[in-house]
């Protein structure tokens, strides 16, 4: 099990990860984190587990992960910035994870809108951001992150779409070093979003973006259609051009490369 003392030993953050709940097994770190926000656990508290019995993904999907191989954790955040910036948190997260992977491994990750991190076009990391306040106003955010680190086997269809850092680099990755690096990068990017206009953050994200200029399949509610990804706007929406030439912004949903 990843012990809190090991994480804390050389963690260079001010707040993120300074308060840790570590579990061998739990239903979902996000669900536990939501409960903790009710008792006002401090900003930056993390909940980490070796295994989740009901790991949750975006769009009501499951998140499946082999016990003891990966990183499964949630961070509690109480943002103090304006509500418009909340929609940019996925960019903070995916850029932080991509930068951390670049520092800890020899890999070159890319970011896929809205908040996936890929290596060699395969998904390595997914994020589930949930607001634990009834209204959608500012308040309590649970930021769940799952990174495939040392898992070697992926079941069924997943093996064509997902991979791990070990599979892509050929070497076992130190999970504690990676977690510390993610928390440090996340804290820096979070500060950047809090105190500065979002252009620099978005530009940095775009440097690692995978989709621009590419044919994609857009999945919005139950509809799916072909388009080309053009840009990400300052509100975090994806600008696409549909096959008839019309442009539109997508705020929620999922996209995949058309050849996949
Ligand atoms: C996705 O890509 O669909 C998002 C996956 C998010 C998975 C993480 S693992 C830790 C945290 N706890 C959960 O139940 N989900 C998130």
Tens of pLDDT along 93-127? 999 999 999 999 999 999 999 999 999 999 999 99
Residue with the nearest Cα to atom 2 of ligand 1? 126
pLDDT in tens, 164-213: 999 999 999 999 999 999 999 999 999 999 999 999 999 999 999 999 99
In this predicted structure, what is the pLDDT of residue 136? 47
The residues, any chain, with a CB within 8 Å of residue 175's CB and separated by 6 or more, are: 2, 70, 71, 149, 150
pLDDT at 134 over 70: no
What pLDDT is stored for residue 260 in this prediction? 46
Q: How many CB atoms lie within 10 A of CB 183?
A: 25
Report the 10 Å Cβ neighbour count for 94: 28
Q: Residues enclosing ligand 1, CB less than 6 A?
A: 28-30, 52, 55-58, 61, 63, 72-74, 116, 126-128, 144-146
On the question of pLDDT at 135 being above 70, the answer is: no
pTM above 0.75, yes or no: yes
Average pLDDT of the chain is: 94
Q: What is the mean pLDDT of residues 20-46?
A: 96
| Centroid of ligand 1 to alpha carbon of 28 (angstroms) | 8
- Residue with the nearest Cα to atom 11 of ligand 1? 144
Give the Å distances, CA to CA, from 101 to 39, 91, 188, 201, 218.
33, 15, 15, 18, 27
Half-sphere exposure of 94 (CA within 13 A, CB side): 33
Res. 220 pLDDT band, cuts 50 70 90: confident
Binned at pLDDT 50, 70 and 90, residue 19 comes out as: very high
């Amino acid at each position: 099990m990843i012990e809190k003392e090991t994480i804390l030993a050389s963690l260079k953050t001010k707040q993120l990860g300074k308060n840790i709940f570590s579990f061998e097994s739990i239903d979902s770190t996000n669900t536990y984190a939501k409960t903790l926000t009710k008792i006002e656990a401090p900003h930056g508290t993390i909940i980490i587990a070796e295994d989740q019995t009901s790991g949750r993904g975006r769009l009501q999907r499951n998140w499946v992960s082999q016990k003891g191989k990966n990183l499964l954790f949630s961070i509690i955040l109480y943002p103090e910035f304006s509500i418009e910036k909340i929609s940019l948190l996925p960019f903070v997260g995916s850029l932080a994870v991509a930068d951390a992977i670049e520092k800890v491994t020899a890999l070159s990750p890319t970011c896929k809108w809205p908040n996936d991190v890929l290596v060699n076009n395969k998904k390595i990391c997914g994020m589930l951001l949930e607001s634990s306040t009834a209204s959608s106003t500012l308040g309590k955010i649970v930021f769940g992150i799952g990174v495939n680190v040392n898992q070697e086997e992926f079941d069924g269809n997943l093996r064509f779409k997902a991979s791990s850092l070990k599979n892509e680099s050929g070497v076992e990755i130190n999970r504690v070093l990676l977690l510390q690096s993610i928390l440090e990068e996340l804290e820096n990017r979070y500060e950047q979003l809090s105190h500065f206009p979002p252009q620099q953050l978005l530009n940095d994200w775009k440097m690692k973006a995978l989709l621009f200029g590419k044919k994609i399949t857009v999945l919005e509610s139950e509809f799916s259609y072909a388009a080309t990804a053009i840009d990400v706007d300052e509100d975090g929406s994806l600008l696409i051009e549909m096959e008839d030439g019309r442009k539109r912004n997508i705020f929620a949903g999922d996209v995949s490369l058309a050849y996949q």
